[in-house]
Amino acid sequence: MIPLSPPHENLPAAEQVHGPHRGVQVLEEQGAEGRKAFFIAIKARPGQKNAVEQMLRDIRACVEAEPATGPWFAIRFSKTRFAIFEAFPDLAGRQAHVDGGGGDIFRDVARMNAILAEAAQVHRVDVLMSKDYFSYCRDERED
């Protein structure tokens, strides 16, 4: 677990109640080589739904330019609970993503403290199996 950030004097009232956090908490080990993914659980502060949705749009814009980021999904469970699922061909691809623009967004601790109720929970996971296309979109002439 990543330790909490030290308190800041000029925090918004919501942060004085909830306290600051580091933006992300990275869970699980890197694992062995193979297909990798992140499942990132995100909880918005009350009234910050639109800001979190904008953050998700900003991250998506970054991953569009990442050749090793494959399937990417932003998910909404409720008005305050969201997630990201994103897959990579290998450890190097996942690390390239961390080092890129999406990672920069999560490293913006001030932004994360302003819109997230708690640190985003970043689960490093192995992809065991997948179906990487929508059957109805597949060109049947390729068979």
The neighbouring-strand residues paired with 37 are 87, 125
2 belongs to a structural domain = no
What's the pLDDT band for 135 if we cut at 50, 70, 90?
A: confident
pLDDT in tens, 67-82: 999 999 999 999 999 9
67 belongs to a structural domain = yes
What value does the mean pLDDT take over residues 37-59?
Answer: 97
Domains contained in the chain, number:
1
Mean pLDDT (the chain) is 85
Query: Domain range spanning residue 91?
Result: 17-127
The pLDDT assigned to 115 comes to 97
132 belongs to a structural domain = no
Determine whether 63 is exposed, middle or buried from the number of CB atoms within 10 Å of its CB (0-12, 13-18, 19+). middle
136 belongs to a structural domain = no
User: What proportion of the chain, given as a percentage, has pLDDT over 70?
Assistant: 82
80 belongs to a structural domain = yes
76 belongs to a structural domain = yes
Which residue shows structure tokens 């897959």?
Answer: 87
Q: Which among 26, 12, 39 has a CA at the least distance from the CA of 115?
A: 12
pLDDT at residue 108 greater than cutoff 70: yes
pLDDT at residue 122 greater than cutoff 50: yes
The pLDDT assigned to 134 comes to 80
Question: Alpha-carbon torsion 108, 109, 112, 114, what sign?
Answer: negative
36 belongs to a structural domain = yes
Stated pTM of the model: 0.80
| E strand or H helix at 73 | strand 72-76
The pLDDT assigned to 19 comes to 64
4 belongs to a structural domain = no
What's the pLDDT band for 11 if we cut at 50, 70, 90?
A: very low
The CATH number of whichever domain residue 64 belongs to comes to 3.30.70.100
The pLDDT assigned to 136 comes to 78
pLDDT in tens, 14-42: 444 456 788 889 999 988 999 999 999 99
